[in-house]
Amino acid sequence: MDENMKQFQQGLIELETEAEHLLLARHQLVENDKVRNGNREALTALRKRARTTKTSVPSPFESMMKNIGDPGSRTLVKEVCATCGNHDSNERTWMMFPGTDVFAKIPFHAAHTILETDQAQLDYEAKKLQSYVKEKSFLISEKGVLADKISPGVLKSLVMLKDKP
């Protein structure tokens, strides 16, 4: 093979590798979104069970101001979980751990804490994957392959191959 043909072939191999990485990242992003949606649904179900919403539980400042007129032996600020609210945080609830088929009955507060930390981690991974997909898409489009027509770089390479006897 002549040098231009080898160079053209190497360019196509690199491009195909980048495209494969892009497709894998998109697939991982879809899988990540499925897990995130499942976590979000589970957190919503736990909030419904505790009869709270993200904003329904008073802040420690509000509870402090409510109790300030009654200087008893109680503490002024009671730490209240935003998901548990007044719900019994030691009540046992069933939870399936991610990546396994194991169900366990764990305290309510621990269940939603695990789900919230998993959700935060999944959100971080989703943003990381989105930036990776954006970077790979930009890299591939820079080579002119994402256009609806044949890119100028590929045409130039083909013309150079045709011109050589």
- State the DSSP string of the chain: --HHHHHHHHHHHHHHHHHHHHHHHHHHHHHHHHHHHHHHHHHHHHHHHHT--TTTSPPHHHHHHHHTT--SSS-S-----TTTTTS-TTSEEEEEPTTS--EEEEEHHHHHHHHHHHHHHHHHHHHHHHHHHHHHHHHHHHTT-SSSS--HHHHHHHHHHHH--
Residue 120 covered by a domain: yes
Residue 31 covered by a domain: no
**Domain, as residue range, for 147:** 41-160
The predicted pLDDT at position 76 comes to: 47
The predicted pLDDT at position 138 comes to: 85
Residue 22 covered by a domain: no
Residue 109 covered by a domain: yes
The predicted pLDDT at position 87 comes to: 73
Residue spans of the chain under pLDDT 70:
1, 52-80, 144-165
The predicted pLDDT at position 12 comes to: 86
Mean pLDDT, rounded, of the chain: 78
* pTM assigned to the model: 0.67
Residue 20 covered by a domain: no
- Non-local CB neighbours of 9 within 8 Å, separated by 6+ positions: 1
- Total number of domains constituting the chain: 1
The predicted pLDDT at position 90 comes to: 80
* In the chain, % of residues over pLDDT 90: 30
Residue 104 covered by a domain: yes
Q: In this predicted model, what pLDDT tens digit does every residue of 95-143 receive, in sequence order?
A: 888 778 889 999 888 888 999 999 999 999 999 999 999 998 888 888 7
Residue 127 covered by a domain: yes
The predicted pLDDT at position 50 comes to: 83
